[in-house]
Structure 1
């Protein structure tokens, strides 16, 4: 059998069998293709049929025809898609406009709106000269609006912060606080002026004290104490003035009272008593004058009346120049009035 098959072994025979089966399948495939394209025509019949077509030199190749067919099929698909889209749109339009009259009415409405829009556009102001185009104007306007929006947000934030701070403010209004500050400043200025006057008195007193021995200084202390006792209706008296010009006072209970604990009215009484005592000592029987600047403003009515009486008594010997902004004080002191 191997000799008949012209092979050396069984394995080689199997391989040849497999090759033969493959070739048979290929032949069957070609036969099927031939039958598909040529039908039952023989090769000779096919040649005769081709001759009937005449000169085939101008016939395109199969590849070119297939390429053109593919392109045509693509166009066909596009046209079918476009057709379906148009059919859909036509359906929508038919549903929306019903008929040609409805479409005409819609067209008229659109034209009227276009005319209205054009009229509104014509009413708009011309483009500002600093802008070269409408796009530039729109960009600038957008930037301005954006900045405006950010400023509005910042303002809202500031307002919120203001309201939060306002909650922490004291119950007094700004006007009330301003009035309190004004009163405090006024009081401070008055006390500052008093301090300046006392310093001036102290300065002059130091000069005088250098000329006086300890024994001769006793009349000043005595006069000072008498004036103070009169001004305070016996509530205070002076006991001494040391070398550093520290005033030593006692109240009616013989308790020593520092100046820092005195009321503003009593403090003014001390200052006036000291001035009168020093002036009385310095001037003696000589002619002279004393200038007082509204030193009764903080005294109560009783002390003010006593002070006016003492000043008038002093004015009986020496000239007193008294400045005041109070008509009542001026009337109480009497004398020659000069209104400014």
Structure 2
């Protein structure tokens, strides 16, 4: 019928237009075809080609990803990383590489070897561990030096000449000072022990005579009590063990060998003074003394000097040699008024 023909013509016209539009669209992809079959066949070929290209691109991306991962691994191994995000590490790695650019021509003939790098890193870590160990030892050594410095100054009690112990050179100087101190104390102790040895020899022959030199009313006890400011009230001679003993004001009796170095010196001085009087049978003589109170603190020094002044006033002459400034300070008044003859000897060493 007429209506059917009209609809058929209209649909055919529309299909022709759509077919032309399809031809135009596929021409953008360099595809053509005069029939729907040709166009379908060409589109299928295009899709196949696109799939092949996509596969190739995917392989390239995977290869690039592997290369990037490998390079990132090398950078992380060499420089570490500042962030878990790779992109954030790139500026940091750029700076690290720029700092190394000055060395790019230093080893042209050396090829990078990961094994050598790992070996060198292990050696570096070993040296760093060794350095940490040595730092720890140095810290402990410094603490030991501080202890030595503190204890040495406590022993020597020298306010004018404080000893510092910061280096091995200081340690040698402190050692020399302490050795000198020990030698002086041992010398004084030896002197006292020699005197005590003499007493022991005399005791064998005349114990009773020796005993008369000691006791509460003896000159030795008198001098020792005065020098120690009453701390010790009596010097005794124990005939049973042939030893000199001292009695404190609290009643405690101590062996002379157990006294401190300073108290030993005081006892030695008391014995010297008493023996001097005894040997000269009441006549006055003189004493030569070479820094007998070098270990005395200011209070003890004051009392010992006062004792010597009393002995001097009683007619004894005393030649007193000292390099201790405190002695001059104690005798400042007597030096000024001329009651003692003060002579300062200049050092002959340059």
TM-score (norm. length: structure 1): 0.46
Question: Which of 1 and 2 has greater Rg?
Answer: 1
